[in-house]
Structure formats: C-alpha cells, structure tokens
Chains A and B, each alone.
Chain A
Amino acid sequence: AQKVTQAQTEISVVEKEDVTLDCVYETRDTTYYLFWYKQPPSGELVFLIRRNSFDEQNEISGRYSWNFQKSTSSFNFTITASQVVDSAVYFCALSETGGNNRKLIWGLGTSLAVNP
C-alpha cells in the first residue's frame, strides 16, 4: 500500500537558519509522482513542486531545494536561509496510479515555525 511519512511533526528554527523537512514514501508502483505543498496559516494549499519517479535530479528554486533519492524512498525539502514567511505546515504527497483514478496520498505534515 502507498504511504507517506513525515516524521517531523514540528520544527522551530531561527530566521536565516537552513532547515530540512523529511519525507519518506512507500509504493509498489514504478511510475509515480511526489509533491510538496505549503499550507500557510491562512489555510490554502500552495503547490511547490511535482517530481516524477524517473527524474532523480535534485531541484533548486530560489531558497528551496529538493533531494529525491529512490534508493531510500525519500523526497526531502530544504529551505535555505529561512524567513518568517516560511512559517507554515508543509505536506508531502504521493500520487497513486490505477486506471482513470488519480488521488494523492498525503503525509501528516510538518509544522515549521521560523522565529525572528
């Protein structure tokens, strides 16, 4: 069965620190997608990244970077030089295959607090 584990429930850092959010997934599918979403205090879900299972290249977008390692079934997310505005709950998710169905399996989220 597919599963996404975000072992860190809460993380608190001081502004400008680097922080890594862990995500470990389980799937038997050979083709799948992994996602990260941000949920700020206002509650909406903000899409950050989608990564397919055949592309293990790390991705960098500004202060954000993602490390995808199939060997360890991990898709970790690093924020460099964190800012107060990064405070949010971050969710990792896995897309499930199966015919015409496509639904996301979500981790429980990591609540990040960046303090000034």
Chain B
Amino acid sequence: NAGVMQNPRHLVRRRGQEARLRCSPVKGHSHVYWYRQLPEEGLKFMVYLQKENIIDESGMPKERFSAEFPKEGPSILRIQQVVRGDSAAYFCASSPGSGLNTEAFFGQGTRLTVV
C-alpha cells in the first residue's frame, strides 16, 4: 500500500510564477488536509477537503492560494504569483474519515523555494 504521495519533493519558482503542488492520498482515503511549515516554525493548517468539496479553508491566505480535490486525480494546492514569503514546506495528509480517532497520514512534503 502506498502512503500519501506528494510531488514534486522540491520546487523552485521565480517570483510571480505559479506553483502547483500535488497530493495523492492513501488509496481509499477521501479526506485531505494541507499544512504549511514556514522555516523554524511548526505546521499551520491551511485547508481541509473531501472529494470535490472544500470543507474548511480558514487557514488559507485570502489571495493567490487555492486548493481542489477532484473526483478523479490528486489534490492540488495552487499558489499564483508566488512571493518569497511563500517559501515553505507544504505537507499533505489524508485520512479515511473526519473523526478524531482516525489517524491522518502525512506525505513527505513539497519544499517550495521562491527565488
């Protein structure tokens, strides 16, 4: 069984470009969470999605950031017109349900560097 797969592992973008981060959840998991880890900081929740639905995007910046989890295919975190402050590690987690007793499995993260 494959775990959560994130790609790319490392992504370098120039200021103003778009970054697309992909997350394939554990097979059978329909719940996906995105977290951001800024340098020297803990993780911060960004968004929670179920298939085709955004459930909670309270942690997403209001502009330039969007997320989707289509019926088919991976979840995508999209950052438009990247700025240096977007440089961070972005982690995706998936779970089979939303209950507290369900463990979320994390991917290895995508490290975005904006130059």
Task: Verify B100–A52 contact, CB threshold 8 A.
Answer: yes
> What per-residue 1/0 map shows which CB atoms of B83-115 lie under 8 Å from chain A?
000000101000100111111111111010000
Task: Verify A103–B100 contact, CB threshold 8 A.
Answer: no
Q: Residue on A with the closest CB to B33?
A: A103
The answer to whether A31 has its CB under 8 Å from any CB of chain B is yes
Task: Verify A33–B108 contact, CB threshold 8 A.
Answer: no
A15-37 residues with Cβ-Cβ distance < 8 A to B are: 31-33, 37
> Distance in Å from the Cβ of B1 to the closest Cβ of chain A?
15
Central interface residue in A44, A45, A93, A101, by most chain B CB within 10 Å: A45
Alpha-carbon distance A105/B44, docked complex (angstroms): 7
The answer to whether B41 has its CB under 8 Å from any CB of chain A is yes
Q: Residue on B with the closest CB to A107?
A: B42
Q: Residue on A with the closest CB to B47?
A: A103
A63-116 residues with Cβ-Cβ distance < 8 A to B are: 91, 93, 95, 97, 100-109
Alpha-carbon distance A29/B42, docked complex (angstroms): 22
> Distance in Å from the Cβ of B75 to the closest Cβ of chain A?
15
The answer to whether A43 has its CB under 8 Å from any CB of chain B is yes
Using A104-B43, A104-B45, A108-B41 as known contacts, say yes or no to A47 and B100 having CB atoms under 8 A apart: no
Alpha-carbon distance A32/B100, docked complex (angstroms): 7
Tell me which of B100, B106, B107 contacts A33 (CB under 8 A): B100
> Which of B's residues lie within 8 Å of A, judged by CB?
31, 33, 35, 41-45, 48, 50, 55-56, 59, 89, 91, 95, 98-109, 111
Supply 5 A–B pairs (Cβ within 8 Å), ascending by A: A43-B89, A44-B108, A47-B103, A50-B103, A100-B50
> Which of A's residues lie within 8 Å of B, judged by CB?
4, 31-33, 37, 43-45, 47, 50, 52, 91, 93, 95, 97, 100-109
